[in-house]
Amino acid sequence: MLEGLRNKRFVSLIDKESGVVINVFKGLKNDYLVSPCRLCTCTDFLIHFVQGNRRYPCYHVIGFYIAYKEQKVVVLELDRGLIKDIVLEIALQGFSRTLRKILG
């Protein structure tokens, strides 16, 4: 968890126009769309939580909760076009090249 907080892996993308917030966990290899305290697109979440054999969701969902509390979330205000690119890249390729470019 500390590694994630230290390496700025918890990222909130805010749509400049609408204010819609999309949360992304930027992993080493894969990025995930996360709804803090609720849902994540990682395999760990999907397998264990959806099957109902575990009470807590996954590292990313809990991590976001902590990152928010400790104010360690990286907040990026972006144009809708960029956010769309990032979400599509994560959904289709498992990671976002655009997000990596922005964060450097």
> Is there a contact between 58 and 42 (Cβ–Cβ < 8 Å)?
yes
- Rounding to the nearest 10 degrees, give the CA dihedral for residues 44, 45, 51, 54: 90
Footprint (CB under 5 A) of Zn ion, residues 41-100:
42, 45, 58, 60
Question: CB of 16: closest distance to Zn ion in angstroms?
Answer: 27
Q: Would you say 23 and 64 are in contact if contact means Cβ atoms under 8 Å apart?
A: yes
Nearer to Zn ion, 40 or 67 (CB): 40
Given the rule CB under 5 A, which of 38-46, 48-56, 64-72, 89-97 is the region that contacts Zn ion?
38-46
Site residues for Zn ion per CB under 5 A: 40, 42, 45, 58, 60
